[in-house]
Amino acid sequence: MELTAQQRGDALVVRVEEARIDAAVAIAFKEAMRQATGGPQRRVVLDLGRVTFLDSSGLGAVVSVMKHLGPGRRLELAALTPNVAKVFRLTRMDGVFTIHGSVPDAASLRHAG
C-alpha cells in the first residue's frame, strides 16, 4: 500500500497514492498507516484525494487507524472524492471525523488543534 507522508505545519499529512481502499488492501492500509504515523505528531491529516473507491472494509480500516492513534492524537480527513464522501455520509461517519474539502496548507496546520 503506497502512502506518502509529509510534515506540514504541526501536522503529518499522509497521502494515499492508490485509487482503492477496499477489502483487498484494508489490512495493508492499516499496517502502512501505523508505520507512517509512528512519530509524535498529534494531528494526522489523511489525504484521500486520489482514492475513488472505498468499501466497508476500507471504511473500517480508516476507523481502525483513528482508534490506533489513541487519545490525544487526531485523524482528520481531506479531499474526499464524491463516491468516498458518500460512504462516509451514508454511514454517518462524516460526523465522527473532521473532514476538510482540501488538504489544509501549512499555515492553517500550525499551532491549531
Partner 1 sequence: MRGERAGHRPGPYSHSPAVAAPLVRLTLRSDSAAIRRALARVQAVLAGLHASGDSLAAVELVLAELLTNIQRHAYGGRPGQIELDLTLCAGEAICTLTDRGGPMPGGQLPPGDPAPIDVPMEALPEGGFGWFLIRSHASALDYRREGDVNVLTVHLPIVLSE
Q: Contact positions toward partner 1, by CB under 8 A?
A: 20, 22-24, 53, 55-57, 59-61, 63-64, 66-67, 71, 82-83, 86-87, 90-93, 95-96
Work out how close the CB of 106 gets to partner 1 at its nearest, in angstroms, rounded to a whole number.
27
Shortest Å distance, C-beta 60 to partner 1: 4
The residues that bridge with 100 in the sheet, in sequence order, are: 78
Nearer to partner 1, 79 or 87 (CB): 87
Least distance to partner 1, CB of residue 108, Å: 24
Q: Minimum Å distance from CB 55 to partner 1?
A: 5
d(CA 17, CA 19): 7
Distance set, CA 55 to CA 3, 85, 92 (Å):
18, 11, 14
Bridge partners, residue 53, by sequence:
20
> Which H or E run includes 94?
none
Strand pairing report for 3-8 and 11-16: antiparallel
Nearest residue (CB) to partner 1, 64 versus 100? 64
